Structure 1
Amino acid sequence: MKRKLLYATFLFFLLFQTLAIAQIPENEKSALIDLYNATNGSSWSIKWNLKSDVRQWYGVDIIEGHVVGLNLYKNNLTGKIPPSLKNLKKLEVLDLAFNALEGELPTTLAELTELKVLKLEMNGLKGGLPESFTAMLNLEELILFDNKLGGNIPKGMGKIRNLKILDLSNNYLQGDLPKSIGELSNLTNLVLSGNKLDGEINIGFGNMQNLSELLLSFNNFQGTVPKGIDSLPYLELVQLQGNDFTSFENLQNIQSKNLIVFDTDDLKLNLKYRELFDIDAPVANTKFEDEN
Structure 2
Amino acid sequence: MKNILKYSFIFLFMTSGYMVNAQIPISEKQYLIEFHKTTVGEQWQKTWNLNEDPSSWYGVEINDGHVVGLKLYRNNLSGKIPNGIAALTNLKTLNLSFNTLSGKLPKDLFELGALKSLRLEMNKLSGALPQDYSKMKSLEELSMFNNLFQGAIPSGIGELENLKALNLSSNYLEGSLPKSIEKLANLERLELFGNKLAGSIEVDLGKLVNLKELILSYNQFEGDLPSSMATLSNLEFVQLQGNDFRSLNSLLRMQSRNLAVFDSDDEFLNMKFGNNEAGKSRLVDNKYEDVKRN
Verify the 8 A CA contact 1:39 1:77 in the aligned structure 2: yes
The aligned amino acid for 1:28 is E
Mapped contact 1:192–1:217 kept (Cα < 8 A): yes
User: 1:274–1:280: 8 Å Cα contact kept in structure 2?
Assistant: no
User: 1:142 is matched by which residue type in structure 2?
Assistant: L
2:72 is aligned to 72
Secondary structure of residue in 1 paired with 2:172: coil
User: 1:272 matched to which residue of 2?
Assistant: 272
2:203 is the alignment partner of 1:206: no
- 1:136 & 1:281 partners in 2: Cα distance? 34
Distance of 1:257 and 1:9 partners within structure 2: 69
Once residues 281 and 43 of structure 1 are traced to their aligned partners in structure 2, the CA distance between those partners, rounded to angstroms, is 38
Q: Please say if residues 151 and 172 of structure 2, whose CA atoms lie closer than 8 Å, have aligned partners that are also in contact.
A: yes
**8 A Cα contact 2:85 2:106, kept in partner:** no
Matches of 2:216 and 2:165 in 1, distance apart? 14
- Take 2:159 and 2:195, find their aligned partners in 1: how far apart are those partners? 23
Partner residue in 1 for 2:86: 86
- Residue equivalent to 1:232: 232
The letter for the 2-side match of 1:109 is L
The number of aligned residues is 288
Corresponding residue number in structure 2 for 1:49: 49
User: Mean alpha-carbon deviation: is it higher for 161-170 or for 246-255?
Assistant: 246-255
Aligned to 1:185: 185
In the superposition, the TM-score normalised over structure 2's length comes to 0.90
Question: Partner of 1:245 in structure 2?
Answer: 245
- In the alignment, which residue of structure 1 is the partner of 2:105? 105
* Alpha-carbon displacement from aligned partner over 1:150-205 (angstroms, at most 9, x marks no partner): 10001121111011100000000000000000110000000001000000000111
CA drift at 1:14? 6.4
Q: Which amino acid aligns with 1:78?
A: S
Correspondence for 1:283 among 280, 285, 292: 280
Give the Cα–Cα distance (whole angstroms) in 2 for the partners of residues 234 and 197 of structure 1: 25
Are the equivalent residues in 1 in contact too, given 2:144–2:169 (CA < 8 A)?
A: yes
Aligned to 2:142: 142
More displaced stretch, 197-206 vs 266-275: 266-275
- Measured in 1, the distance between the counterparts of 2:172 and 2:115 equals 25
1:63-93 Cα shifts (integer Å, max 9, x gaps): 1111111000111000000002121111111
Residue 154 of structure 1 aligns with which residue? 154
Give deviations 1:34-68, integer Å, cap 9, x for gaps: 11000110010101000001100111111111111
Deviation, structure 1 residue 206: 1.5
Distance 2:150 2:137 in 1: 23
Residue type at the aligned position of 1:283: K
- The amino acid that maps onto 2:42 is S
Residue 8 to residue 223, structure 1, CA distance change in 2 (3 Å):
same
Given that residues 261 and 283 in structure 1 are in contact (C-alpha distance below 8 angstroms), is that contact kept between their aligned partners in structure 2? no
Residue-by-residue CA offset, 1:199-226 (whole Å, 9 max, x unaligned): 0000111211111000000000000011
Q: Please, what is the CA RMSD of the aligned residues?
A: 2.6
- Could you tell me how far apart the structure 2 residues matched to 1:135 and 1:225 are? 32
User: Could you list the runs of 5+ residues in structure 1 that have no partner in the other structure?
Assistant: none
Deviation at 1:15, TM superposition (A): 6.2
DSSP-derived class of the 2:84 partner: helix
Give, in whole Å, the separation in 1 of the partners of 2:133 and 2:32. Answer: 21
Mark the runs of 5 or more structure 2 residues left unpaired by the alignment: none
Residue 133 of structure 2 contacts residue 159 of structure 2 at CA under 8 Å; is this kept in 1? no
**Deviation at residue 105 of structure 1 after TM alignment:** 1.1
Going from structure 1 to structure 2, the CA distance change for 1:13 and 1:78 (only over 3 Å counts) comes to: same
Q: CA deviation at 1:137?
A: 2.1
Q: Which amino acid aligns with 1:17?
A: Y
Secondary structure of the residue aligned to 2:233 is coil
Structure 1 residues 160 and 244: alpha-carbon distance in aligned structure 2, compared to 1, 3 A threshold: same
Is this contact kept in 2: 1:230–1:255, CA < 8 A? yes
Amino acid at match of 1:91: L
SS at 1:97 equivalent:
coil
